[in-house]
Structure 1
Amino acid sequence: MSWWQLVPALLLTAAIVFLPGYLILRCWAVTGLVAVGAAAPVSISLVAVTAVVGPFLGLRWNVLHVVVPAVAIAAIGLVLRRATPKALGIHGRIRRSPRSRWTLLAHLGALLIPAALLTRGLTRMIGGPENISQTWDNVFHLNAIRYIIDSGSASSLTVGGMYSGGAKVSAYPAAWHDLVSLVVQVSGVSIPAAVNAVTLVIGALVWPISAIFLTTRVTGTRPVPVLFAGALSAAFGAFPYIILDFGVLYPYFMSLALLPAALALISMVTGVGDRSGTPRWLATLLFIAVTPGIALAHPSTFLTLLLFALPIFVVAVVRYRRILAGRAGQSRYWLLVMLLAAYLGAGIALWLRVRPSSENSGWQPIQRVPQAIGQVLSGGVMQQGASWVVLLFSLVAVGLVMRRQFSQWVLGVYLIAAVLFIVVSAMRKPGLRNFITGVWYNDSYRLASLLPTITVVVCTISATWLFFRTRDALVERRPRLASMRFTRESTPAAAAVAFVVAAIIGVAGQFSSVNYAVGSGAGNYRASDNAPLLSSAEEALLTRVDEHVPESATIIGDPWTGTAFSYAISGRRTLTPHVGDDKMPPDVLMLMNNLNAIGEDPRICELIEKYDSYYVLDFNGRRYMNWPTVYPGMETVETNPHLEVVDREGDAATLYRITTCDGQSS
């Protein structure tokens, strides 16, 4: 399969991600960049919420779960537009002027630059449209998608039950898995191809649009900052690339792509960000609508949102203090202060309770504080090397802060993100470090990938200021105009020049941390005979397993050799749908440890019959991460007289059938 053959799936993915939300927003009289920026978060929230509701209504998961509610909610908006147009901010038909036309072209250019650069980088890293990430977490992610399709339930309340085949209900945030399962159903492509289609749409479209949306809450929607925000969204190795290499953390990746849009909506609700004509109550409704998608994609990003919102709320309260006057005004001000204090208290309670266990948060510091500070400023985190474009604009931002020409709430969010990364990667005080960054497993990679969500805004402000300062100096030759701020109006000529400059910035941003991140990640996606988890031969055999193994059967295999991918690729379950021994039932562990005792211990055949496990996969390739866990019963499969060969791919992969026990699957 070529990337061109994946285009229909990509178009269908983009339709699922953007169209439901955009339809709803336009029918509710939301327009412009607000509608475009909030479309994907609203769609993904709709996917995640309807997936949870569906099982309670006895509905099997499919795309109608999203389409029908989207049309219904849009219809409500249309009714409100007719009944209460003023409440929705409708004040007559707006005619498109020549100015708005070239502005629209500039905005399209702002998306084209990062879309092209990020698509190039992501396809280079992934390698092929059906390549899989050869990493720990991906075994669960791919199998969970298959489980959703087979069970018909995509609810985050039940997806974790995959381990027990649905026998035990277990919750797991599944918004990303819900989305991919819809792509599989609608497009008909394989699960790996659907995963890569979703990755491209989120990485090359959702992320830059979200970054542009947040940036314009500070700079306005003029073409120059929009163009720079788009170009700079493609200049970071930390996001989207690093989190698609490490883990692989697909749900976290999607939640981070949505985070800037959610922050943009908070700034609109509080009045510190440009609302672009959207009424505050409607912005509040939009924010409420997008939060479920983030929370059901990855709860830690929801907590990040609460933390990042704090500077926005503080700035809003301070501004209200200046606006309100008199006794009534003082009462409202202190009410806001009390609400902020209550918010802090609730946030701390969540911070302490909604976090992984200390046993699962064992990542240690990796560097010293000066190194961490340098990496924050340069954008070259986790040994990626400095991004000189990011470093330049970060240093300009420092100067703007010193001159008090910088957004206070943006600075606050940036400092929080920076401190989190510095603490997790460099602090040597375990107790304090765990309190601050334990929400993210004390994992430097997760917090490194968080930085670009706000750094892109910081760099855009600097780039825009530099652009207009340089333009004024060159064109007008008057020093007194050189200090004019970035808020100065743009002209078509300035926008055209800005497009060229933005393209140069975007391309220049590829020759540093981005190139390193793409090259580093490529190793985890390459299908080869020496792949980290699933070799080419092993994958070839898995594509034929469904020809030999009944649909109801369960396969025995050592998950550390890649057999756990059987469910995702062949549709045939294994006793071990994920790597790791912590969730393996004692009966399964006993069976795998004593498979060589089939003819001697009657309990083995009893377990084989219990689980309908008359087939064995034996992969001779690498054990993932050279994991030391060994199952003695699996070590002698080749010489076990009670097994016969059913299918084989060279010397690397073999499918056996157990011939001794009664009641064999046929």
Structure 2
Amino acid sequence: MPTPDTFWTYSSAISIYLVVLAVPGGLIGWSAGLRGWALAGLAPLLTYTATGLAGPWLALVGLPYNVGTAAAFTLLLAGAAYGVRAFGLRRGWIPGEALADRPPLPWTRRAHLAVAACVVLATVLSVIVVLSASGGPNAVFQRWDTVFHANGIRYIADTGDGSLTGMGTINWYPDGSFYPNAYHLVGALVYNLSGATIPATLNAITVPVAGIFALSMVTMIRQFGGRAVFAGSVAIVAGAATTGAYESVSSGLLPFALGIVLTPLAAVALQRYLVRPAVDTGMVLALSAVGLLCAHSSALFGAMLFAFPMVVQRWIRREGRVGQDILRMLPVMAASGVLAALQVLGAVGFTSSAYPYTPWASNIEVTEALNQLLKFRQILNQPQLWLAGLLVIGTLSFLTLGKMRWIAASALILSFMFVLVACYGGVSWVITLSRPWWNDRYRLMALAAIPLCLLAGHGLAEIQRWLSKAVSHWSWVRDNPRVPARLGLASAVLVLIAMGVVTQGFYTQANATAVAFLYHNGPESKDREQPISAYELEAMAVLQKLGVGPDERVLNDRVDGSAWVYAITGIKPTAGHYDTGVPPKDAEYLADHFREFDTDPEVRAAVKRLNIHRVFLGHGSIKPYMHRAPGLRDLDGLDFLRREYANPNAVIYTIIK
């Protein structure tokens, strides 16, 4: 269901998000010595580093998080990076030319432009997929965790509280609950700068997700000296593969999806440091690790699994020594630990808290798990057979990857992790091993998709190489001196066009069907009731006009979508998330006994403590098996309530006693 944003409002929200992605991180990266594709690719990650650190540290010293303080913190971080690098240069700790940072295979200007065009194309595909799935850029997300993220962005923007527990107070009051909040801190900036509604802001952050994935992949390939055709091919695959960026988005795992698309950058920062260990490359690695941790708790774990084979290959090829590399990592780890101390302590405290950990315990057949990996599909019935074919070609020809052969080992490790969780998710040691990913096979599939997309892109690049080589033997090609120079670009364009044709527009329609799960807008949801419909939004607008005070909470049901009332109106509900884990005692008691207001003094006491004067009930349920709480059923006709407003899907009451 859409919210009332104009075309210019949500267009500006998308533009502002892209600027926020590029500028803060770009300034920090440039100050730290990054240039070229490394600067362009790492800029989004460093932006999330800056905001992810700014919010909690500002809260610790009692300062609000807003556009001004976030900018000041970014300048402070950039200044520190510049100063550290300048000091290292003066002391001779950093080579003046930093020759080791230069990728071994030069690209022509034409190659750079062609690869950039592929990244732009992947971004365009991403925008088309998300907007096609949603039915418009101001549609309201319908999946489970999205309401938590929506409320979190609104809370930070309204209160300036960027702490790691503050936004959790909308549901887990009074103390809140730990959650790494870089995603929400960036969202709060976009919300405040654009003037868009929260749904439009969330969509603005979501639409370029596959484009960010493509940029991260290209940056990694460039850093390791890969061919431009390989980089461009991987960018296109990143924009086409369902299990890469899109499937996590479709499940509402928005910060997790962000962590996935940024994960390849860990290999970039790590390679730069290991090849040229110095204070500037170490600083970039530390900031990158912190950024992944701030984006999502599991992102750093996933990045370590993804990049570990690269380190092993380095040791096998005697490009580095095990002990020496480990010793060099210690100061980087220490610096990361200091910067992210609040996130680390928060994560440790959350792990030992009363919040229940419930494993998914998936038990599908091994053959089915392998089938899903190969065909880049998990939630869709339609396999991506052309990508599967490219994956086979890329895997069989992995030896031609050169310094990037480790990608095959990464694919093997992460695919094994997916199969383990998907097929044996109920085994105790598997549950423990996969806890950073909540024992969720969908998350592990997204992680495995990173090297699988790289291999599929390599397969596409190999086809182009074979085609170019075959054509180069033709006599008319050899006899025309201008043709060989243009043959590479022409064959790359031909292969790209062919892929677009056989995949019916790079699987845009299939990916839109997958992302439509996020909005309950696909064919699988045609008979399903949306928790947030136009009627609920209409009722929320009426509630906003009733003069609910900033210190009041509105009593609502946990499962009917009314938890969105805070994100839409800024009015606090008693239930700010669908999650039933450790709810506030007063909220839980009222959900069970509110109908007994006249006869139960504890109900009246809870209403007074929470300062409740209104009741807002929606329609439907976030899950078909979840039903309205017993204390909130059949409220019409009760003498302590007056109905203020009603429509087919929502009703508002006022407590009159």
Tell me the TM-score normalised to structure 2 length. Answer: 0.85
Could you tell which deviates more after superposition, 500-509 or 304-313?
Answer: 500-509
> C-alpha separation between the residues in 2 aligned to 1:20 and 1:569?
28
C-alpha change, 1:411 and 1:654, in structure 2 (3 Å) is same
Q: CA deviation at 1:355?
A: 9.8
Match of 2:217 in 1: 211
List aligned pairs for 1:381-392, cutoff 5 A. Answer: 381-392=378-389
For 1:217, the aligned partner's letter is Q
Q: CA deviation at 1:137?
A: 1.1
C-alpha change, 1:338 and 1:406, in structure 2 (3 Å) is closer
Could you tell which deviates more after superposition, 373-382 or 295-304?
Answer: 373-382
The secondary structure found in structure 2 opposite 1:654 is strand
Give CA deviations for 1:52-95 in whole Å, capped at 9, x if unaligned. Answer: 11112321111223322333444456667777388364489x9x
> C-alpha separation between the residues in 2 aligned to 1:396 and 1:268?
29
C-alpha change, 1:140 and 1:78, in structure 2 (3 Å) is closer
Match of 1:307 in 2: 305
Q: Any conservation in 2 of the 1:369–1:427 contact (CA below 8 Å)?
A: no
List aligned pairs for 1:29-428, cutoff 5 A. Answer: 29-75=33-79, 84=89, 87=94, 89-90=96-97, 100-165=108-173, 167-201=174-208, 203-220=209-226, 222-246=227-251, 248-271=252-275, 281-320=279-318, 335-336=324-325, 360-401=357-398, 407-427=404-424
Could you tell which deviates more after superposition, 391-400 or 413-422?
Answer: 391-400
The secondary structure found in structure 2 opposite 1:234 is helix
Q: Any conservation in 2 of the 1:242–1:521 contact (CA below 8 Å)?
A: yes
For 1:266, the aligned partner's letter is L
Q: Any conservation in 1 of the 2:66–2:189 contact (CA below 8 Å)?
A: yes
> C-alpha separation between the residues in 2 aligned to 1:342 and 1:65?
29
> C-alpha separation between the residues in 2 aligned to 1:451 and 1:253?
13
List aligned pairs for 1:646-665, cutoff 5 A. Answer: 646-648=644-646, 650-660=647-657
Q: CA deviation at 1:151?
A: 2.8
Q: CA deviation at 1:168?
A: 1.5
Q: CA deviation at 1:112?
A: 1.9
Match of 1:329 in 2: none
Q: CA deviation at 1:10?
A: 0.9
Match of 1:445 in 2: 442
Match of 2:339 in 1: none
C-alpha change, 1:152 and 1:611, in structure 2 (3 Å) is same
Q: Any conservation in 1 of the 2:137–2:203 contact (CA below 8 Å)?
A: yes
> C-alpha separation between the residues in 1 aligned to 2:9 and 2:504?
26
Match of 2:340 in 1: none
For 2:519, the aligned partner's letter is Y
Give percent identity, aligned residues only. 21
Q: CA deviation at 1:307?
A: 2.0
Q: Which runs of 5+ in 1 are unaligned?
A: 272-277, 325-331, 345-349, 482-489, 661-666
> C-alpha separation between the residues in 2 aligned to 1:579 and 1:499?
48
The secondary structure found in structure 2 opposite 1:534 is coil
Asked if 1:501 is matched to 2:495, the reply is: yes
Q: Which runs of 5+ in 2 are unaligned?
A: 334-344, 479-483
Q: Any conservation in 2 of the 1:238–1:449 contact (CA below 8 Å)?
A: yes
Q: CA deviation at 1:560?
A: 0.9
For 1:306, the aligned partner's letter is M
> C-alpha separation between the residues in 2 aligned to 1:364 and 1:514?
32
Q: CA deviation at 1:209?
A: 0.5
For 1:309, the aligned partner's letter is A
C-alpha change, 1:569 and 1:603, in structure 2 (3 Å) is same
The secondary structure found in structure 1 opposite 2:305 is helix
Give CA deviations for 1:135-173 in whole Å, capped at 9, x if unaligned. Answer: 2212211112222223321122443333344x3253211
> C-alpha separation between the residues in 2 aligned to 1:305 and 1:623?
36
Asked if 1:521 is matched to 2:515, the reply is: yes
C-alpha change, 1:624 and 1:335, in structure 2 (3 Å) is closer
Match of 1:486 in 2: none
> C-alpha separation between the residues in 2 aligned to 1:444 and 1:254?
17
Match of 1:485 in 2: none
For 1:585, the aligned partner's letter is P
Q: CA deviation at 1:189?
A: 0.8
> C-alpha separation between the residues in 1 aligned to 2:146 and 2:13?
21
Give CA deviations for 1:556-576 in whole Å, capped at 9, x if unaligned. Answer: 111211111111111111111
Give CA deviations for 1:172-198 in whole Å, capped at 9, x if unaligned. Answer: 111111111111111111111111111
Match of 2:592 in 1: 593
Match of 1:433 in 2: 430
Q: Any conservation in 2 of the 1:114–1:230 contact (CA below 8 Å)?
A: yes
List aligned pairs for 1:613-628, cutoff 5 A. Answer: 613-619=612-618, 621-628=619-626
For 1:209, the aligned partner's letter is L
> C-alpha separation between the residues in 2 aligned to 1:284 and 1:507?
44
C-alpha change, 1:169 and 1:581, in structure 2 (3 Å) is closer
Q: Any conservation in 1 of the 2:22–2:47 contact (CA below 8 Å)?
A: yes
Q: Any conservation in 2 of the 1:537–1:652 contact (CA below 8 Å)?
A: yes
Q: Any conservation in 2 of the 1:263–1:309 contact (CA below 8 Å)?
A: yes
> C-alpha separation between the residues in 2 aligned to 1:627 and 1:588?
21
> C-alpha separation between the residues in 2 aligned to 1:108 and 1:403?
23
The secondary structure found in structure 2 opposite 1:543 is helix
Could you tell which deviates more after superposition, 363-372 or 179-188?
Answer: 363-372
The secondary structure found in structure 2 opposite 1:531 is coil
Match of 1:465 in 2: 462
> C-alpha separation between the residues in 2 aligned to 1:99 and 1:77?
29
C-alpha change, 1:504 and 1:217, in structure 2 (3 Å) is farther
Q: CA deviation at 1:512?
A: 8.2
The secondary structure found in structure 2 opposite 1:560 is coil
The secondary structure found in structure 1 opposite 2:559 is helix
> C-alpha separation between the residues in 2 aligned to 1:38 and 1:306?
17
Q: Any conservation in 2 of the 1:117–1:506 contact (CA below 8 Å)?
A: no
Q: Any conservation in 2 of the 1:384–1:516 contact (CA below 8 Å)?
A: no
Q: Any conservation in 2 of the 1:134–1:531 contact (CA below 8 Å)?
A: no
Q: Any conservation in 2 of the 1:592–1:632 contact (CA below 8 Å)?
A: yes
C-alpha change, 1:211 and 1:509, in structure 2 (3 Å) is farther
C-alpha change, 1:4 and 1:609, in structure 2 (3 Å) is same
> C-alpha separation between the residues in 2 aligned to 1:632 and 1:428?
34
C-alpha change, 1:119 and 1:88, in structure 2 (3 Å) is farther
The secondary structure found in structure 1 opposite 2:281 is helix
Q: Any conservation in 2 of the 1:252–1:301 contact (CA below 8 Å)?
A: yes
Q: Any conservation in 1 of the 2:395–2:455 contact (CA below 8 Å)?
A: no
